[in-house]
Chain A
Amino acid sequence: MFEPFRYDFFVNGIIAAGLAGALTGLVGVYIVLRKMSYIGHGLSHAIFGGAVVSFVMSINFFLGASVWGVFSALLITVTARKRTIGADAAIGIVTTASFALGIAIISKFKTFTRSFDAALFGNILGVSDGDLLALALVLSVTVCTVFVGYKLFLFTAFDPEMGRLYGVPTGWVDIMFSLILAATIVVSMQVLGVTLIAANVVIPPIIARMITNSFKRMILLSTVVGSISGIVGIYISYYIDVSSGATIVLVGSAFFVLALIYNTIQARRHRIRSYFKKKSAISRIPFSAGKV
Chain B
Amino acid sequence: MLHPLPHSPSYIDPVVRIEALTGGYNGESVLESIDLTISHGDFVGLVGPSGSGKTSILKAILGILDIYDGRVLVNGIDTSVRRPRVGYVPQLETIDWNFPVTVEEVVMMGCTMNSPLFPWVTGLQRKAAARMMENLGISGLAKRHISDLSGGQQQRIFLARALVGDQQILLLDEPTSGVDIKTRDDIMHLLHELNHQGITVIMTTHEINSVAAHLPRVVCLNGRIIADGPPYKVLSTEILSATYGGPMPVIHHNGMAIVVERPHRFGYHARKDVDMDSSDLEHQDIV
- The 8 Å CB contact of B120, one of A151, A161, A164, is A151
Which A residue's beta carbon lies closest to that of B84?
A165
Which A residue's beta carbon lies closest to that of B143?
A214
- Compute how far the CA of A155 lies from the CA of B99 in the bound complex, rounded to whole angstroms: 11
Query: B105 near A154 (CB under 8 angstroms)?
Result: yes
Which A residue's beta carbon lies closest to that of B148?
A213
Q: Bin chain A's interface residue count.
A: 20 to 34
| Residue-wise interface mask of A (53-86) relative to B, using a CB-CB cutoff of 8 A (1 in contact, 0 not) | 0000000000000000000000000000000000
- Cβ of B214 within 8 Å of any chain A Cβ, yes or no, is no
Question: Residues of A contacting B80 with CB < 8 Å?
Answer: none
- Cβ of A166 within 8 Å of any chain B Cβ, yes or no, is yes
Question: Residues of A contacting B88 with CB < 8 Å?
Answer: 162, 165
Query: A218 near B100 (CB under 8 angstroms)?
Result: yes
- Compute how far the CA of A215 lies from the CA of B96 in the bound complex, rounded to whole angstroms: 13
Query: B101 near A154 (CB under 8 angstroms)?
Result: yes
| Residue-wise interface mask of B (66-101) relative to A, using a CB-CB cutoff of 8 A (1 in contact, 0 not) | 000000000000000001000010100011100111
Chain A contact residues: helix, strand, loop or mixed: helix
A86 nearest CB across to chain B (Å) = 16
- Compute how far the CA of A266 lies from the CA of B235 in the bound complex, rounded to whole angstroms: 52
- Compute how far the CA of A166 lies from the CA of B62 in the bound complex, rounded to whole angstroms: 10
- Cβ of B190 within 8 Å of any chain A Cβ, yes or no, is no
- Cβ of B145 within 8 Å of any chain A Cβ, yes or no, is yes
- Cβ of B121 within 8 Å of any chain A Cβ, yes or no, is yes
Q: A157-B99, A165-B62 are in contact. Are A150 and B119 (CB under 8 A)?
A: yes
Chain A residues proximal to chain B, CB less than 8 Å: 33, 147-152, 154-155, 157-159, 161-169, 209, 212-215, 217-218
Chain B residues proximal to chain A, CB less than 8 Å: 62, 64, 83, 88, 90, 94-96, 99-102, 105-106, 109-110, 112-113, 116-121, 145
Query: 4 extra interchain contacts, Cβ-Cβ under 8 A, other than A165-B83, A168-B116?
Result: A152-B119, A155-B109, A159-B96, A215-B99
